[in-house]
Structure 1
Amino acid sequence: MKERFKNPYFWLGLGGVIFSAAGVDFKTLTSWSLLGNALLNILANPVAVVSVIAAIVGVVVDPSTKGLKDNKDNK
């Protein structure tokens, strides 16, 4: 898990998954205020919050192990 957090591509992918799961259109995010409004809209929508949480779990969880833990061989 620590290795994922060090990888910038992990964060890039995670950001894409979060915005995609929340239904944010990147074409409309042309200013910082619009980005802030999009984030607030995500938090105001329970379906978007659940979708984002499910997407994050899907990206972060190691599929080669049972449960939420990482494989100890993949250090």
Structure 2
Amino acid sequence: MNKDRFKNPWFWVGIGGVILTATGMEPSMFTSWDALSGAVLDVLKNPFLLGTAALAVLGVFVEPTTKGLTDGKGEEK
């Protein structure tokens, strides 16, 4: 796996967006710390949401131009 992606802040923005979308988070869940912690606990108690979030994150990591879960050799820097 290409370690450069972990250094790119936009990778982390993408991961955050994917997780928020896959778990069904909405802006109203971020109005207070109590609301946020309750929403996070609800997600952690829901195996379907955890599974879809894991699959969505896997989709961000997978290089679509190669076979399997590994990155291609690509252009070396």
- Would you say same fold, with TM above 0.5? yes
After superposing on structure 2, the runs of 4+ consecutive aligned residues of structure 1 that deviate more than 4 Å are none
> What are the residue-to-residue correspondences of 1:50-61 with 2, within 5 Å?
50-61=51-62
Unaligned runs of 5+ in 2: none
Could you tell me how far 1:48 is from its partner in structure 2? 0.2
Q: Which structure has the greater CA radius of gyration?
A: 2
Structure with the higher helix share, 1 or 2: 1
In structure 2, the partner of 1:14 is 15
Report the alpha carbon displacement of residue 43 of structure 1 after superposing the two structures with TM: 1.1
One-letter code of the match for 1:4? R
Shift of the alpha carbon at 1:44?
0.5
Structure 1 vs Structure 2: percent identity of aligned residues? 47
Quote the RMSD (CA, aligned, Å).
1.4
* Alignment-derived partner of residue 49 in structure 1: 50
Q: CA deviation at 1:26?
A: 2.2
Number of aligned residues: 75
